[in-house]
Amino acid sequence: MTMGEVVEIYWATQDEEPSSASDIYLDFHKFDTIEFIIFADRLSSAVLVYRSACSQLEHMRQRFLQQKATGGHRVAGWEGESDIGLDENIGVVKESYTIAAGAATVTAVAALESLLIDLVPDDQAPPKGLHDLMEDFLNRHGHSLSRSQRKSLVGRELRVNQRRNQFAHALAGSYFGRSKASRQMFTDEALDENFRIVAYLAIKIEELYNNSQAR
């Protein structure tokens, strides 16, 4: 079976196989151990929640845009207020896309952080935070990595960690204070990259973990 056929089957079966939602980001890699299987399921949950939210939001957006085009939302004598109310509804839907992308990013990065916690030895207290967990894991299992390879992995971890934290700050901070760069962190393209980085890191973590355990 070609990769194209695998991808075609993937999209055709998503309604029946939600646990496979993360497969496309994992390049259809299959994990063997329970810690990594749990990670893949959590990543699938993040993907599923975002896709479901976007499907519902797009349905609402199209309905509101149709109302705006036809004027069907207007109440006689209250045309101006009707327009303002409709624009507000469209704005809420638009903002919800950003919130859905940010929440999916948080969920995906949390899945990676949980995986690293699960890989900490039972007699050791896990470090606090994703970055320290990553550094601790690499100190224990990353001896085969060159300096540039380790730097590359840490760089990817820092990228998704920054985006996760940026979302939390965006929710807590002023709406008017959000920069364009901050908003761009929660586009479809950025989220797709986040999913792929998290999946890539998990595969590399598995490889390092298994190689270390085999010694």
Residue with tokens 């820092």: 158
Mean pLDDT of 109-120: 96
8: tokens are 């075609």
Instruction: Please report, for the chain, the start and end positions of each structural domain, with discontinuous segments joined by +.
Output: 32-214
Mean pLDDT of 126-144: 95
Residue 26 pLDDT: 96
Per-residue pLDDT reduced to its tens digit, 49-61: 999 999 999 999 9
Per-residue pLDDT reduced to its tens digit, 7-60: 999 999 988 899 999 999 999 999 999 999 999 999 999 999 999 999 999 999
Contact yes or no for 215/144 (Cβ under 8 A): no
Residue 183 pLDDT: 59
Mean pLDDT of the residues in the chain: 89
Q: What is the pTM of this model?
A: 0.87
CA separation for the pair 186, 38 (Å, rounded):
25
> Is the confidence at residue 173, as pLDDT, over 70?
no
Residue 36 pLDDT: 97
CA separation for the pair 174, 90 (Å, rounded):
20
pLDDT-derived band at 213 (thresholds 50, 70, 90) equals: confident
Residue 154 or 189, more confident: 154
> Is the confidence at residue 169, as pLDDT, over 80?
no
